[in-house]
Amino acid sequence: MKRFVALLVSSFALMAAPVVAETVAITGGKVVVGDGSAPIDGATVVIRDGLVVAAGTDVAIPANARQIDASGKWVTPGIFAGFSRIGLIEVNAVTATNDTNAADSVFSAALDVQYAVNPFAAPVAVNRAAGVTRAVVSPSTGKSIFGGYGAIVDLGQDSDPITKARAFQFVELGETGHRRAGGSRAASHILFRAMLEEARTYSRNPSLFDSDLMKASDAKALLPVINGSTRLLVHVESANDILKVLDLSKDFPSLKLVLVGVNEGWRVANAIAAAKVPVLASALSDLPYSFEDLAATQSNIGRMKRAGVEVAIGMINDRDAHQLRYSMQYAGNLVALNKVPRATGLSWDEAFAAISSKPAEIMGMGAQLGSLKAGRKGDVVIWTGDPLELSTQVESVFIDGVEQSLSNRQERLRERYRNPAPGALPKAYDR
């Protein structure tokens, strides 16, 4: 990874960011730890060896630290996109660049996005420049209800994007599951149970495995789901579909469920909370896009939170390969709801946590990612102001303690056409 960055630096002067994790002290800024606590004015953040050493007002600055004056600025953990397809798509409609699903593959649960995530895809650089540093990357589904393994990634400029491979399995059990399974939720649920049962059969004698439902590789891939060592992200929207998924724990008590989407979650928030199943929810869905979304409201996340559900913002099927930079706007909108009578939003501190520490915790990585607590990876963003506000710009981005280039092809196009008329030579010579 460092090797590749060195190569980039040698070929592109504009990428002349330091390639190794420095010791850095960011001083004087308004620091948001990201764990739901209130911002701290005039605080210092120290990162060393790629990790956060400390964040607060009583922090010693190491003698060898590069100091960055962030007076008047905000300093936060990098944005953690709770559900995305970042790095799986360059251009959606150009199928050769779209690796979200494998509809013509013989495999399902065994598919693994770690081989498909492209750290050099343009959307990675664009969203990095906007302050997004980590993301949950999920496959979508092809022929089966199971999409395969997803990963946790960083959006760094180096060649190794994978923070955690095989971080979860993805399954569709709402309307999409109905369709994938042959046209009924009766079918999607029996398919789900049958595939898990057959995976158990596989584990008893792999060499004899023979199934009409899946390949041995798929069965093998489901074993860590059954025993709970890998999370199962389940896309559902309607209240009834949510309840039916929660019921799966009766037959498969070790499942480590995470719900995704969940537009009607507020209707069954108490049941979700009681089951202690966390949620990566769409933030601003408020229309009956389909009959599984009839009760969608922007107050969904706030109401679930008040009911005790552990919830973060995800962006399933919502420009989730290109626009993770909407995360801050979405969180800000949930804060705005507090001033709308009868609506339920999040406090500012909760809203920021919903795009930083909460997704990390829900994915079981809260001790490594998502906040500026000591020991977390050095993902830090310096902003010109309130990071949830639309007018705010990103000044600096650190990932794993390495300051990142903010350059990307949108910025290059912008500069080329700052004055649209050609000069002494055609535009093609302006670089």
For binding to another protein (CB under 8 A), which residues are involved?
Answer: 85, 89-94, 98, 100-101, 122-123, 126, 140, 175-176, 179, 239, 264, 267, 284-291, 293-299, 317-323, 325, 329, 332-333, 335-337, 339-343, 388-393, 410, 413-414, 417-418, 420-421, 427
Q: 109 with 195: CB under 8 angstroms?
A: yes
Q: Closest separation between CB of residue 245 and another protein, Å?
A: 17
Q: What's the alpha-carbon Rg for the chain, to the nearest Å? A: 22
- Reported in sequence order, the residue ranges of 15-113 that DSSP labels E, i.e. its strands, are 24-31, 40-48, 51-56, 66-69, 74-77, 79-84
- DSSP-derived secondary structure letter, 416: H
Q: Closest separation between CB of residue 73 and another protein, Å?
A: 14
Residue 345 or residue 364: which is nearer to another protein going by CB?
345
- Indicate the helix (H) or strand (E) that contains 394: strand 394-399
Q: Closest separation between CB of residue 84 and another protein, Å?
A: 12
Q: Closest separation between CB of residue 382 and another protein, Å?
A: 14
Report the C-alpha dihedral over residues 244, 249, 255, 260, rounded to 10 degrees: 30
Residue 163 or residue 344: which is nearer to another protein going by CB?
344
As a three-state string, the secondary structure of 148-165 is EEEEEEECCCCCCCEEEE
Q: Closest separation between CB of residue 363 and another protein, Å?
A: 21
Q: Closest separation between CB of residue 297 and another protein, Å?
A: 5
Residue 193 or residue 414: which is nearer to another protein going by CB?
414
Q: 406 with 397: CB under 8 angstroms?
A: yes
Residue 163 or residue 188: which is nearer to another protein going by CB?
188
Q: Measure the CA–CA gap between 346 and 352, rounded to whole angstroms.
A: 9
Q: Measure the CA–CA gap between 156 and 158, rounded to whole angstroms.
A: 5
Residue 204 or residue 418: which is nearer to another protein going by CB?
418
Report the C-alpha dihedral over residues 187, 145, 263, 275, rounded to 10 degrees: 80
Residue 215 or residue 319: which is nearer to another protein going by CB?
319
